[in-house]
Structure 1
Amino acid sequence: MEVLSVLHMNGGIEESSYANNSAIQRKAISKAEPIAEEAIHELFSSSNSYNNKFRESLGIADLGCSSGPNTLLMISKIIDIINGECRHLGLKSPELQIFLNDLPGNDFNTIFTSLPDYYQRVREKKGDDFGPYFIVGVPGSFYGRLFPSRSLHFVHSSYSLMWLSQVPPALDGKRGSALNKGNIYMAKTSPPVVLKAYLDQFQKDFFTFLSCRSEEMVAGGRMVLTFLGRKSSDPTSKECCFIWELLANALNDMVSQGLIEEEKVDSFNLPQYTPSPEEVKSLVVSEGSFLIHRLETYTVSWDPQDKLHHQSLAFNALKSGAKVAMYMRAVAESLLTSHFGGAIIDDLFQKYKDTVSEKLEREEPTFTNLVISLEKKADI
């Protein structure tokens, strides 16, 4: 699987688009906002950073920006925070160079067509004294260099770093079809070699990510990252694997009905890894370029809009199951279509909706999110 060319969230504004099915991701951005505000405040208050090095301009990057209403949500929050800091310190607003990054298959066109209206809203809200600021798209993998050396002052990424640069080589395609039979991700039935392959790939990718950002960020620059993770030391725990196990069940149901070949399922493995805080901390320490200011976890229900869930008399498992199936389709459809073809997608997600709804009737599964706030160390 060529992840660079295949992986992207569903574009456009259709029913199954990411734009219409990203409430979970919006919740993650909202949860990380106070940590981003703290990081930017420290950026401005540091005598060795803002006051001495970037009085005139700031470089800001959002890595894995996707498309839809969430794309400019965190950028808007960052602009608000910077504006507030400048007013508080009596400083002239710096020029902002804002980079929106995602893989080449991302729906950048929808982002670009939304920018004129976005600029107008910001001008009406902030006035002409704020800025200027410039927003550009940067297609490419963040597991490589994307920006000039020492050009970034603040980096943000949300719900992107759990995606790997590739399926672990030992599991990719027919070579790995016998190793993880019946599964599409790590699971209780996966042998140790599968778990090790996923961990090895994550360690390689995240180390590379940190090394690349180290080259691109100024000393004292800040980075806030949010991604799916786990609290447990067990990489096959339900908190990180259950959502994909149910999709595997739906695929295997289609195998039993003769709609998909068994080998097709056995040869499909997801390019994702949900790390523990300890795994993330260990890699940051070993790479050596960053200080950790915060490393936190929190959970959110699979249906973030159902605040009371089973305690509510209005809870509807079928309705919540349909939401979950739709946002998972918005995320995973490109990967599934590239491997299985598009003809099965509607039936697959109908089965998936039914399977998820049955689970939601009996329990309240959650995602574990990991947030880390980092500071680029001074160059030696």
Structure 2
Amino acid sequence: MSMPCQLCHISNSFSLMPIKILSVVKPIIDEAVQKMLCSNIAPIGSMGIADLGCSPGPNTLLLISIIIDAIHATSCSSSSTEFRVFLNDLFSNDFNTIFMSLPAFYNQLKEEKGDGFGSFFISAVPGSFYGRLFPAKSLHFVHSSSSLHWLSQVPPGLDCQAAGKALNKGKIYISKTSPQCVLEAYSLQFHKDFLLFLKSRAEEIVGGGRMVLSLMGRSSSDPSTQESCYQWELLAHALMSMVSEVNT
């Protein structure tokens, strides 16, 4: 089955968007890392770094490079620090794509930073970040970009039919035609998920640790505006087209 042109457009947009977001967030990451390192009286011997909802491609290693550069540029850092880097996403994520790029990444890191910049241990931690993923007080810096808008589940009541009629038929988002109960269901699910996310990270991050989160936003309070729904509309049309092909 060929990929619909709408889905190709979505794929290209999503692959470029993280790079643009990282360029905007980089100064925030730099400041957060500097304050974290310089607020500790004693050097951090083993630093835990987590990227939650990581990309399956090269964008993840680009983020790690940005964090490493921020640490390297901080005079408060120690050359003997060990870095435990955890890459997290759902179990279906293709972590192998990232791991195959690690030898070249390590070689580049060694050329740029030298042997005295500490040791790196990169591993994958599959699972939902809407819950505990790491031991208590094991992380120093947590990052997540363009992931927290994905809910842990379809809001209760929207994945079934009420009175013989689907509440949000043909949609995977809040649209102009969605009734008020759909908006409220999505809002309640997000608040529940985000609270669980924050509670979980509060147990996993050490005192004085830092967290940088990038979330999708909008300039209007209306969740059904085009700036909020354009890409989801294309994705919905693509999915409906694929379903039609399967059923014919």
**TM-score scaled to structure 1, two decimals?**
0.58
Residue aligning to 1:45: 38
User: Which residue of 11, 17, 20 maps to 1:27?
Assistant: 20
Residue aligning to 1:7: none
Residue aligning to 1:354: none
Q: Residues 293-327 of structure 1, C-alpha deviation per residue, up to 9 Å, x if partnerless?
A: xxxxxxxxxxxxxxxxxxxxxxxxxxxxxxxxxxx
- 1:134: Cα distance to partner? 0.7
Query: Aligned pair in 2 of structure 1 residues 177, 219: CA closer, same or farther (>3 Å)?
Result: farther
- 1:66: Cα distance to partner? 2.2
Q: Flag structure 1 segments of 5+ consecutive residues without an equivalent.
A: 1-14, 255-336, 345-380
User: Which residue of 133, 142, 153 maps to 1:155?
Assistant: 142
Query: Aligned pair in 2 of structure 1 residues 236, 169: CA closer, same or farther (>3 Å)?
Result: same
Residue aligning to 2:127: 140
Distance 2:38 2:186 in 1: 40
Query: Aligned pair in 2 of structure 1 residues 209, 21: CA closer, same or farther (>3 Å)?
Result: closer
Return the letter of the residue paired with 1:209: F
Distance 1:90 1:159 in 2: 29
The 8 Å contact of residues 10 and 234 in structure 2, kept in 1 or not, is answered as no
Distance 2:142 2:78 in 1: 22
TM-align CA RMSD = 2.6
- 1:341: Cα distance to partner? 8.4
Distance 2:165 2:69 in 1: 49
- 1:237: Cα distance to partner? 2.2
- 1:131: Cα distance to partner? 1.2
Residue aligning to 1:171: 158
Distance 1:75 1:182 in 2: 39
Query: Aligned pair in 2 of structure 1 residues 75, 161: CA closer, same or farther (>3 Å)?
Result: same
- 1:116: Cα distance to partner? 1.5
- 1:238: Cα distance to partner? 2.1
Residue aligning to 1:80: 69
Distance 1:115 1:19 in 2: 24
Distance 1:194 1:20 in 2: 27
SS of residue in 2 equivalent to 1:169: coil
Q: Aligned ranges for residues 163-312 of structure 1 at < 5 Å? A: 163-174=150-161, 178-248=166-236
**TM-score scaled to structure 2, two decimals?**
0.87
Return the letter of the residue paired with 1:58: M
- 1:97: Cα distance to partner? 0.5
Return the letter of the residue paired with 1:51: I
- 1:249: Cα distance to partner? 5.2
Distance 2:117 2:11 in 1: 31
| Number of aligned positions between the proteins | 239
Residue aligning to 1:56: 45
Return the letter of the residue paired with 1:166: Q
Query: Aligned pair in 2 of structure 1 residues 90, 110: CA closer, same or farther (>3 Å)?
Result: closer
Q: Residues 132-170 of structure 1, C-alpha deviation per residue, up to 9 Å, x if partnerless?
A: 111000000000100000000000011111100011121
Q: Flag structure 2 segments of 5+ consecutive residues without an equivalent.
A: 1-7
The sequence identity of aligned pairs, in percent, is 56
The 8 Å contact of residues 159 and 226 in structure 1, kept in 2 or not, is answered as yes
Tell me whether 1:97 sits opposite 2:90 in the alignment. Answer: no
